[in-house]
Amino acid sequence: MLKKMISKRVLLIIVMFSVCNFGVVFSQKDRLEREQCVMANMRGDEYCGKILDSCQIVIEDDNLNNLSLNDCELKNRTILRVKNVKNLNEIDLTEVSLDKSSILVFDDIKVFEIKTGGSISPCSAVIFKNVQLNNKNINYVFKKGEDIDAFIKNLYKAKLEFKVGSFEKIEEFLEKSSNKNPVGNKSFLVDAILEGEIGEPGREEKRSKYKCGDAYVTVDRISSWSEALKNLPKPAFAYYQYNESINNKISLYKGDITTLEVDAVLNAANMGLLGGGGIDGAIHRAAGSNLKKENRTLGGCQTGFSKISYGHNLPARFVISTVGPDFRSGGDFLQLKSAYWTALELFKACGLKTFAFCGVSSGIFAGAYKSQPWLFAKVACDTVREWMETNNNWKNVERIIFVNFLPAEENVYKKTLPLYFPPRDVLLKKKDN
């Protein structure tokens, strides 16, 4: 009798060992748990109908043609990552379900069709990173409650080519998310989602975290440039034609940029993106330490370029950090224009509508040009006007706000803005080189 009991236990241990190390074909709604395996070697159709509980699973098979997650349930910090698969015909996400702590990642894949059909349960995140869907590019993070069905269907329409999200935490998450990293250790991305650091909270929830408290300023409280022009002297000339529609989408505001409730604020950053002096320091202090944590994952930024982060404790939804030239060490105004232009292009690519602009490189970076503030204002105003007219970008903008903190800065912009956003009946003059 004793020998039989020992034999049964040995057989049970062998079976459990096999499940843990080699993966098996599970029946419908079988449970795949962390205690059983961390990484499962299953075919693309074998996740259909499974409960994936506290697992980290990586599917990396370039021979995979179809991936079915139909009726699949991810729960308790499960991370399912599909990566480096270039020949997928179809991904079936019909009725896939994720609890609030689980993540589904599609990383660097090519697929002909993504099937949704049913309703995808509200989840913490479904991430598309470097995904080509029928030759259309997708980089996007779906936050809780977003309609992924509608988004995928819209991708098949000719006019919608891609949508860009903010990927500040994903790179670090993907590095940490491997079969060597126990699920019990909280991943950076999962924590970020649960703590509301990635994926935008609702407006009221976000307002409760504003560093400025109730002292935030909404766009409807800021006069348009058309209104401001009524109280300013008419310039002798201008570099652009009068355009009432564009003037209505420009504002000049004297105040604290960290209190503006807009889609994005521009930050005059250094190449490290980790905070500094002046406006850079003010934005980081108001946003809180999570902005610095997030920006650590961005890998810095080169002069003349821009990167985007969440606004955290700012009223602004996003921070677009741009690196202007350092005129103390060979910087030039073409780099300054590039800094503004790339910020505007990022603003546009992310589908944002309201943008608070600060001066870039006009502080300590100005060097010998510090005594000529109008040069910096001219580049800012000229770049914004040129960008707004390019491809009729102005039609997709609600407001671009030039923000000044000091009276001297405001006076410079009051004299410069009318040259680029003039009132009626002003002599047109060719721009200086």
Query: What domains, with CATH codes, occur in the chain?
Result: 26-194 (no CATH), 217-428 (3.40.220.10)
Pick the closest to residue 140 from 151, 149, 127 (CA basis): 127
User: Which stretches does DSSP call E strand in 270-398?
Assistant: 306-310, 318-323, 354-357
Contact 122, 99 (CB under 8 A): no
Residue 70: predicted pLDDT: 80
Q: CA dist 68 to 218, 354, 384, 400, Å?
A: 45, 40, 47, 45
Alpha carbon distance 340, 385 (integer Å): 11
Question: Could you list the pLDDT tens digit for every one of the 433 residues in the chain?
Answer: 444 444 444 443 333 333 333 232 233 334 444 333 333 444 555 667 778 776 667 787 778 888 888 878 887 767 788 888 888 888 888 777 777 667 788 888 888 888 875 545 545 567 777 788 877 777 776 655 566 666 666 665 543 333 333 333 444 444 443 333 322 233 334 444 434 444 445 577 788 889 999 999 999 999 999 999 999 999 999 999 999 999 999 999 999 999 999 999 999 999 999 999 889 999 999 999 989 988 888 888 999 999 888 899 999 999 999 999 998 888 888 899 999 999 998 888 778 899 999 999 888 887 777 888 889 999 999 999 999 999 999 999 999 999 999 899 999 999 999 999 999 999 999 887 5
- Measured in degrees and rounded to the nearest 5, phi and psi for residue 269 equal -100, 170
First vs last C-alpha separation in the chain: 99
Give me the residues paired with residue 136 across strands: 133
